[in-house]
Structure 1
Amino acid sequence: MKLPVLWIVSALAAGILLAGPGPAMPSMRPMVWLALAVAALLVSLVFLLRRSTPMAWVLGLLSWVFLGALAARLEQVAIPLNHVSVLLGAGRLDTSEALRYRGRLREDPIQIPGGLRCDVDLEEVEVGGAPIDVSGGLRLNYFRSETAATEQEPELLPILRAGDRVEALLRARAPRNYGNPGAFDTRTYLARQNIHLTGSLRSAALLTKVGEPPPSLAHRVARVRGRLLAQMDALFAAAPDRAAVLRAMLLGDRTFIDHQRALAFQKSAAYHVLVIAGLHVGALTGFVLWAGKRLRLSLIARTAVTLMALAAYVAVVEDRPPILRAALMATTLLCGWLFYRKIELLNTLALAALVLLAARPSALADPSFLLSFLTIGTIGALAVPWIDRSSAPYLHALEHLADGTRDAGHPPRPMPFRLDARAAPQWPAPRLPARLAARASSFVILPCRGALRLWEVFLLSATIQLGMLPLLAYYFHRVSLTGPLANIPAVALTGLIVPLGFVTLGASLLWAPLGSALARPLGALVGALVASVEWFSRWHWGSYRIPGPPWMLLFAFLIVVILMAVAARASRKGWQLVLAAPLGLLALGIAVYPFAPDLARGKLEVTVLDVGQGDAILTAFPDGTTMLVDAGGVPGMRGVQRVGGARASFDIGEEVVSPYLWHRGLKRLDVVAVTHAHQDHLGGVYAVLENFRVRELWVGRDVSRPAYRAVLEAAQARGVRVVHHIRGEQFSWDGASGRVLWPDSSAETDSAKNNDSLVLRLEHGRVALLLPGDIEAPVERTLAARGDTLAAEFLKVAHHGSKTSTSAEWLVRVGPRLAVISASENNPFGQPHADVLERLRSAGVRVLRTDRDGAVTALSDGQTLRIHSFVESRQ
């Protein structure tokens, strides 16, 4: 068997999927899986002694399946009883109140835009004046106040280093996932980083240093990382944008990469150069080996120095799956090289996966893990065989070109090329000066070798893009057509930036002038990288967003890729040609998503999304026409979250609304309606315009506010028709109709007001639904006094349940059976207000809340109204 470890890790992964994570087999305890694994192994040995090798292999692999299940179950039951997640589940911690947490800093405080971030390994928490031993991780953020004296406030923060024992008084909560189908699992993502509570300090005085115990080795390494980050910022103080790129490429800190730059890397499929992985490890390994050879170190010494450099690199950038995978593979290859053994790339990859999955089985569900291994797996399974049979023989034919005695050692196919390359210099040589004539063969060899290497880089890039296509489409909803070309300069420049970056950092620590001198060419290389990436990102239709493909399509694609890999490794050209057609069709299906959206045809749907303290409502009409009413946002944010460069700390439109729409299979929206120009309704609209093909943008009263004008300009730039709607206008799609009840004028005002909201009443048969935006009691009274038809079975409660809206008189006129309130959990505005909840209860209205029930969907066939929530559907 040529790839034994690949079979073993596949069996281990199957066992992990069989037993967890999840409640698939809750009754199977770890000892049961261990007994099954031992039994399978013993039976396998019996067959092996009887020389029945195939059955021995099958049972041996089955034992690995059971071992994978055992590892998964052990990881699930290994959570200590004093872990914060256990205490929260048992109700022993009241996170609605500020508590005093104590623990040790995991690393130096990290600079983030506008403040600092600290990760604390918890030791105890004070509850009711009594300390409780606790384990787990706390991430606390401190944002400097805009109104405070910026020169004085940082002095209140204690000087902290990794390993210091600190005490923080704050209200910390478990990370919350947005309650929408397709939402990103923030809680699991942070748990993989050993973060189980998050919170923000109201004042720097609430964080104190209570001790400086001796730092552990991990803390010392974290301090080195903090020092390197600070040194990077100092070297490029005049060019913080380049410092941000280098922080990401060298040390894995992407905090200061602004949105526009990150988007350019994503569009050109070059974002991987900002994520430390195999490319970076390969560049560093190659440089250290090259330097060792130049210094005439022995093979053993070069290998030892390289392994030490790799160990230091992994320690400094932390234990992320891509870097660990790359380091383990590099270590295996180096050890094989030391013993003059050629190592099979796929076996090396499988060995790295085996080690990582055995240590942390839950990594199998980590997109970073999957993408990292898929990338190298594609190279080993497809790119390497294709290169071996395309350019490699011709590159080999260029070696020792003048030595005719070596011709017999070359296969027939590249021999004409070798003979032509040998004969080509004979014509120009007599016509060149003596110095150049002696090097005439170089004028042939170097261009040929360069062209063949360029072909290899392109083939590698194209193969990687093909292999990553399904997961990039599924997890990140992006297809990049420029990736194979954009990655040629990106990969080449990264190979120079990584080693030069570490040399520069090291030199600056030893002698500042030398570091400053090396920083100039390093900055130029980073500038070239950014320029090339941004140039490719500007190609029209070079990149676009799509819904994630169905699992069956992904599975079919994987099967065909495996068959193609088998054919490529076996040199079955005919089979490769046969498989190329289905592979191309499946890739096309993933890239264009030709499937219909997941909509209830013939019915009117209104889904109020969970977007925190904001509004976003998807409306689907019986004929499939779609309308998004608002797109959420962060209350109090100034300006549009994604206009003008730097990205807001969190973009609701990109991170919450768009994933839900992609989950529904939507690529286009017929209408996006903005009720009014407050940020909690408007903030996510820019991302929606950017990610989807929108036909019309509906607005009510015009506002001179810059954020609102920027959204209108973005819509017009994308060919979206901007339509102003005022009271009395109507619309209809396939039997479902709508009427605009407010505002009564579209005249421009200086500022956005709740009472300028676009109010829509939808009707399908006997069922009506009312979407009043954020109107308050004065507009409610005006609408009631004008005699408009307001009756509706479904009411989206105005202004997130504020006490200034949803008066008793309004509820009498509307007469809803169901009301939905869109508000964030424990929001600082106290919404929904207790008075509003009481008025709704007194009116006999069933109330659902997005902070508790998640997304709420109302579905009507014109006769009845059915309601379900995201939380309810998961129970």
Structure 2
Amino acid sequence: MVLLFWTSVGFCEGRRGIGVSETTAQSVFVSLPSVPDRVDRVEGVLADFWSGSAPRARGLLRAERLQVAGRWHPFPAEVFLFVSGTLPVERRADRGDRVSLVGRLKREDLPASSRDVALPWTRYRMSVKSALEVRRTGRTALSLFSIPNLFFHRTLPASRSRGEWFDRNVRGPLAALLLGRTAELDRGMVARYRRGGLYHLLVVSGLHVALAAGLVLGGLRRARVAGKRRDAFLLVSVFLFVLVGGANPPAVRAGIVIGIFLAARLFERPIPAAQALGLSALALFVADPRQVYSIGTVLTFAAVGGITLLTEPIRRRLPARPEALFSGVATSVAAQCATAPVVFWRFNYVAGGAWLTAPLAIPLSAALIALGGAILVLFAIGIPAGPLCSLFGLGSRLLELLADRAAGLAFLRPTPPLAGVATIGALTLAAAKAPARLRPPAAILAVALFLWLAFGPAPKGPLRGFSIEALDVGQGDSILVRWARHAFLVDGGGPFDVDAEDFGRTRLLPKLLDRGVTRLDAVLATHPHPDHALGLFSVAEELPVDRLWLSAGDDESDLFGRLRSAARTAGVPVEVLAAGGSFEWSGARLTVLHSGGPRRKVDSVNNQSVVALFERDGKRALLTGDAGAPTEQALLDRGRIVQVDVLKVGHHGSRTATSRLFVARARPRLALLSCGRENRFGHPAAETLRTLAALHVPVFRTDRLSDVRVDLLPAGTLVSWRGLE
């Protein structure tokens, strides 16, 4: 009850603080002039280290004020920064610095998943053309706290100076494990850790703070240091570890919990662990109200709460000897019991292998922390650490091997209802604190409900007809077609950064899993442009896909070549579609009307897009990719266009597509149009909208409605959307 009381007080206070800031920021932002070439000036504090590198650096700003019409106004908001140009932006300013920036400020797109829509504040993004537009105006306490991390990071050997093996197995994991820097990790390594449910072991987190504290405590016991001296030394050690680790939120949260507990003992006012946990929640939420809604906060307090409440009951049911082994197993299982439902709801992973490998992986992670700390010190004082680096690299490979084995028992599952996850949490709490006779039934019910949500039947598409949904992926295309237990994906969206292959994991996969799609009958990439194809990399890597279809047109920037390679690695068959081909499965038919063809002088790759007709139970949808007017005219000349129910508007509504004759021949009952909010291309064009309006075709746009779904059923047509309007 003490834990619940203090956490509730912190939540209410944090929510109040968020509401005040949000009202202020919104009122200032809406006063900005609505002109396409607007340049904005914002001041604030860099809240994190830069990720990525020139020419695509990303950062996070805690904005403080915004200039409107030459006057400064308070603007307490969270702004994601995107800096272009060749100049390294970290030389201009880094975390903790107060900065002034010049660029274009926009509202951030809606989150990928409806799980995030309830956040009670608006996020913003700012595009900055060059690091020269980032100017340091001062330093803050956070700048001072960042000095240890910056110092140790700069003492690491430069990237590529010691070979690929060192960068992959030593430099990357060392920077992540002790410094909280994840940008240099190998992408394949990260994917294996994520699938195995052990990613939290790879980066500085609350678990690492606890492990480091345990290592220090073990050393103090061996040195026979006890009492207040032990607690004081342990408190200082935790503080330094958090600073060196970059003082990221997970480490800070764990440090606050441990710090309050140790401080109470130092002042001879010892408190129970649950009360320390509640007071730390209060302190954290008052200091940073947005932590109220952080999934990391939930996981931190769930893990610590699980360890506090469940370790002892689990330990009593395990063998007495060896004590250290089974105590570690009990702690690991207790943390997994508390966090598994949250991980399942937020990340869709049921990491069965993590339950088996965690008792081995956690001690190995502790050993790597101790070894990595020694390596950092040696690098800092200029002493070679060759043997230790080799040993660290071998340990890193072994930890990755455990993650890879755990991935074999990890499953991506449809998003469970939040009420179900909350019920599992309540039953788990009852299994620990209810009267003795009720604990076994509560534990059994918690396990049964978890298994039902994880492996029960997923939502399916219409049994008759089909649904077609334009997924909101920003300035790009991704169309999901579903019927019965089948799903077919056309394009995957993506930014115009050809290296941003993780877009699908953060933006597209959550949408598919929210809809219960855990397997795809086919994936079609209409043409090799990043705003259509980048999201498909993660789809091919993470989901079972029966086949990948590509356009017969020219490749561009080797995008299709890389997609082929990713598909081959995942065991997905790849086929190039030819015009005139037809595919039938489960009562549905896909007819390829156009694919490839001659390279035209204007919009050459766009006009080689696949154009396809999907049919089932007498309902039809025309999928046009980015095909323009020349391709439309060629299809009209060959008599390939028939009347359809739904038209996917070509090329995001550009004026170079969706000709009047084409629309008149197709006679769609409605049109789906995918484009980004306030996109730099001005899509959709006014001419295109006038053409559709003149032919009485209702248009449903993702920039205004977000995800738009059309159910084409024998009894009628149903249109629904997630909704901005």
TM-score after normalising by structure 1: 0.73
Report the Cα distance in structure 2 between the residues aligned to 1:223 and 1:202, rounded to whole angstroms.
28
Q: How does 1:105-254 map to 2 (within 5 A)?
A: 105-106=45-46, 110=50, 112-114=52-54, 116-117=57-58, 119-122=60-63, 124-132=65-73, 134-145=75-86, 153=87, 159-160=92-93, 166-178=99-111, 182=114, 188=119, 196-209=123-136, 211=137, 213=138, 215-232=139-156, 238=162, 239-241=166-168, 242-254=170-182
Deviations 1:85-143 (A, max 9, x none): 3311x334658544352535446963533354555554544434444454445443334
Check if 1:589 corresponds to 2:446.
Answer: no
Counterpart selection for 2:494 from 619, 627, 633: 633
Q: 1:769 to 1:524 in 2, by over 3 A?
A: same
Report the Cα distance in structure 1 between the residues aligned to 2:567 and 2:22, rounded to whole angstroms.
52
Residue of structure 2 in register with 1:99 after alignment = 39
Report the Cα distance in structure 2 between the residues aligned to 1:759 and 1:467, rounded to whole angstroms.
49
Report the Cα distance in structure 1 between the residues aligned to 2:723 and 2:473, rounded to whole angstroms.
15
Q: 1:634 to 1:167 in 2, by over 3 A?
A: closer
Q: 1:501 to 1:720 in 2, by over 3 A?
A: closer
Q: 1:471 to 1:752 in 2, by over 3 A?
A: farther
Q: 1:629 to 1:524 in 2, by over 3 A?
A: same
- Checking the alignment, whether the CA contact within 8 Å between 1:84 and 1:196 is kept in structure 2 is no
Q: How does 1:290-305 map to 2 (within 5 A)?
A: 290=218, 299-305=227-233
Q: 1:824 to 1:862 in 2, by over 3 A?
A: same
Deviations 1:297-352 (A, max 9, x none): 66323322322333344456566553344223323443565588986444443443
Q: 1:522 to 1:278 in 2, by over 3 A?
A: farther
Residue of structure 2 in register with 1:79 after alignment = 21
Report the Cα distance in structure 1 between the residues aligned to 2:313 and 2:550, rounded to whole angstroms.
57
- Between 165-174 and 195-204, report the one with greater CA deviation: 195-204
Report the Cα distance in structure 2 between the residues aligned to 1:579 and 1:197, rounded to whole angstroms.
44
Counterpart selection for 2:461 from 599, 607, 610: 599
- SS of 2:298's equivalent in the other structure is helix
- Checking the alignment, whether the CA contact within 8 Å between 2:353 and 2:407 is kept in structure 1 is no
Counterpart selection for 2:544 from 676, 684, 693: 693
- Checking the alignment, whether the CA contact within 8 Å between 1:547 and 1:663 is kept in structure 2 is yes
- Checking the alignment, whether the CA contact within 8 Å between 1:765 and 1:863 is kept in structure 2 is no
Residue of structure 2 in register with 1:279 after alignment = 207
Q: 1:220 to 1:95 in 2, by over 3 A?
A: farther
Check if 1:323 corresponds to 2:241.
Answer: no
Check if 1:494 corresponds to 2:365.
Answer: yes
Report the Cα distance in structure 2 between the residues aligned to 1:541 and 1:284, rounded to whole angstroms.
29
Residue of structure 2 in register with 1:531 after alignment = 398
Report the Cα distance in structure 1 between the residues aligned to 2:65 and 2:266, rounded to whole angstroms.
48
Check if 1:845 corresponds to 2:706.
Answer: no
Q: 1:121 to 1:581 in 2, by over 3 A?
A: closer
TM-superposed CA distance for 1:664, in Å, is 1.1
- Checking the alignment, whether the CA contact within 8 Å between 1:612 and 1:825 is kept in structure 2 is yes
- Between 248-257 and 90-99, report the one with greater CA deviation: 90-99
- SS of 2:343's equivalent in the other structure is helix
Report the Cα distance in structure 2 between the residues aligned to 1:162 and 1:582, rounded to whole angstroms.
46
Counterpart selection for 1:814 from 666, 670, 678: 666
Report the Cα distance in structure 1 between the residues aligned to 2:239 and 2:46, rounded to whole angstroms.
19
- Between 851-860 and 311-320, report the one with greater CA deviation: 311-320
CA RMSD of aligned residues (A): 3.8
Residue of structure 2 in register with 1:783 after alignment = 635
Report the Cα distance in structure 2 between the residues aligned to 1:95 and 1:531, rounded to whole angstroms.
55
Q: 1:634 to 1:788 in 2, by over 3 A?
A: same
- Checking the alignment, whether the CA contact within 8 Å between 1:99 and 1:126 is kept in structure 2 is no
Q: How does 1:824-839 map to 2 (within 5 A)?
A: 824-839=676-691
Residue of structure 2 in register with 1:512 after alignment = 382
Deviations 1:715-765 (A, max 9, x none): 466554555544444455676655332238899xxx983333222223456
**Higher-Rg member (1/2):** 1
- Match for 2:50: what amino acid? I
- Checking the alignment, whether the CA contact within 8 Å between 2:480 and 2:487 is kept in structure 1 is yes
Report the Cα distance in structure 2 between the residues aligned to 1:765 and 1:270, rounded to whole angstroms.
45
- Between 290-299 and 664-673, report the one with greater CA deviation: 290-299
Q: How does 1:377-776 map to 2 (within 5 A)?
A: 377-388=305-316, 390-391=318-319, 394=320, 449=322, 452-506=323-377, 508-509=379-380, 511-513=381-383, 516-517=384-385, 520-521=387-388, 524-538=391-405, 541-566=408-433, 581-592=444-455, 594-621=456-483, 623-635=484-496, 637=498, 648-649=499-500, 651-701=502-552, 706-712=558-564, 714-715=566-567, 720=572, 722=574, 725-731=577-583, 737-743=589-595, 753-763=605-615, 767-776=619-628
Report the Cα distance in structure 1 between the residues aligned to 2:202 and 2:181, rounded to whole angstroms.
9
Report the Cα distance in structure 1 between the residues aligned to 2:98 and 2:292, rounded to whole angstroms.
34
Report the Cα distance in structure 1 between the residues aligned to 2:289 and 2:74, rounded to whole angstroms.
27
- SS of 1:173's equivalent in the other structure is strand
- Checking the alignment, whether the CA contact within 8 Å between 1:633 and 1:653 is kept in structure 2 is yes
Report the Cα distance in structure 1 between the residues aligned to 2:624 and 2:675, rounded to whole angstroms.
15
Report the Cα distance in structure 2 between the residues aligned to 1:719 and 1:505, rounded to whole angstroms.
40
Aligned residue pairs: how many? 716
Q: 1:660 to 1:351 in 2, by over 3 A?
A: same
- Checking the alignment, whether the CA contact within 8 Å between 1:125 and 1:131 is kept in structure 2 is yes
Q: 1:787 to 1:328 in 2, by over 3 A?
A: closer
- Match for 2:425: what amino acid? L
Counterpart selection for 1:263 from 187, 191, 212: 191
Q: Which runs of 5+ in 2 are unaligned?
A: none
- Match for 1:530: what amino acid? R
Deviations 1:422-454 (A, max 9, x none): xxxxxxxxxxxxxxxxxxxxxxxxxxx4xx422
- Match for 1:202: what amino acid? K
TM-superposed CA distance for 1:565, in Å, is 1.6
Check if 1:802 corresponds to 2:654.
Answer: yes
Report the Cα distance in structure 1 between the residues aligned to 2:92 and 2:555, rounded to whole angstroms.
45
Deviations 1:628-678 (A, max 9, x none): 1122233461xxxxxxxxxx4463322222111111112222222232333
TM-superposed CA distance for 1:543, in Å, is 2.1
- Checking the alignment, whether the CA contact within 8 Å between 1:636 and 1:679 is kept in structure 2 is yes
Report the Cα distance in structure 2 between the residues aligned to 1:354 and 1:102, rounded to whole angstroms.
31
Check if 1:8 corresponds to 2:5.
Answer: yes
Q: Percent identity?
A: 26
Q: Which runs of 5+ in 1 are unaligned?
A: 14-66, 146-152, 396-448, 638-647
TM-superposed CA distance for 1:183, in Å, is 6.6
TM-score after normalising by structure 2: 0.86
Report the Cα distance in structure 2 between the residues aligned to 1:132 and 1:630, rounded to whole angstroms.
42
- SS of 1:78's equivalent in the other structure is helix
- Match for 2:606: what amino acid? N
Counterpart selection for 1:870 from 703, 722, 725: 722
